[in-house]
Structure 1
């Protein structure tokens, strides 16, 4: 009865010792939603270049489920841990609209995306914008200069966890949000 009242939310979680892909497989098997930001990396194996899809940040897993389901799953899989806010000690729960926006961008596996830790960017210096055309049409973020890029980019952030900077977008495809 109590489970019916709970709504599904996004939890930021950590899978220790680089077991995030194993955790994702087990979560999917248990019919729980999950997302791991991934990107292609080129590495050399046995003298050959290999392009492989790897997690952007090791140990990071986003889980979409009811709190009781996550707690039950977590009791079976001991290496899966909640990420907590350092100030309040509360589990980090990400709003659905923020997570959907982040997945729409990070889920493309685009080679031109740049990922940042939250402390690497000062989002308050940027301008809030909406993309009006192209692959990322409809996405909202902050337009600012980021380290490692010549020009300004639109950044979509999950507060306190991760931020992704979209590839260079022509200024005609951006509108300022008041």
Structure 2
């Protein structure tokens, strides 16, 4: 009866030893929501170029489920672990709105997206903005200069886990949020 009262929440989790695809299959079999940020990479196998969808950060899995369901699945599988905040020691739980924005951008598998570890960007230097047109219309993030890009980009962050910088967006398609 207690599981009926629980809400589904997003957990940032780790599937050790690059077993994120195994974890995803297991979670889907258990009818639990999950998301792994992926991108296309070109590799050469037997002299042929192959374009394959691979995880951006190995071992990273976002799980959308009730706490009791996650606990049950975790008890069956040793390689699925919570990612904890280094300062507080608490499990990292991602707000639904933040996760929806992240999935809307990272789920496009756009080749021009750039990914960063949280400590690589100083988001306090940026401006909070909303994209008003194009592929990422309606998304909100922080507009700032990121390393490896000539121009400023809109960044969406999952606090303490990962940040994604969108492809270059023309300044006319960006509104500042007060």
TM-score range, shorter chain: over 0.9
Q: What is the distance in 2 between the residues matched to 1:122 and 1:70?
A: 32
Q: What is the distance in 2 between the residues matched to 1:41 and 1:22?
A: 20
Kindly provide the CA deviation profile for residues 72-129 of structure 1, in whole angstroms up to 9, marking residues without a partner as x: 0000011000000111111100000000000000000000000000000000000000
Instruction: State TM-score, norm by structure 1.
Output: 0.99
Identify the residue that residue 131 of structure 2 maps to in structure 1: 131
Aligned length: 178
Identify the residue that residue 177 of structure 2 maps to in structure 1: 177
Identify the residue that residue 93 of structure 1 maps to in structure 2: 93
Q: What is the distance in 1 between the residues matched to 2:177 and 2:89?
A: 33
Identify the residue that residue 144 of structure 1 maps to in structure 2: 144
The within-5 A match list for 1:77-88 is: 77-88=77-88
Q: What is the distance in 2 between the residues matched to 1:144 and 1:92?
A: 25
* CA displacement at 1:54 relative to structure 2: 0.1
* CA displacement at 1:175 relative to structure 2: 0.3
Identify the residue that residue 119 of structure 1 maps to in structure 2: 119
Identify the residue that residue 107 of structure 2 maps to in structure 1: 107
Instruction: State TM-score, norm by structure 2.
Output: 0.99
Identify the residue that residue 14 of structure 1 maps to in structure 2: 14
Identify the residue that residue 33 of structure 1 maps to in structure 2: 33
* CA displacement at 1:17 relative to structure 2: 0.3
Three-state SS of the structure 2 residue aligned to 1:137 is coil
User: Which structure 1 segments of 5+ residues have no match?
Assistant: none
CA RMSD of the aligned region, Å?
0.4
User: Which structure 2 segments of 5+ residues have no match?
Assistant: none
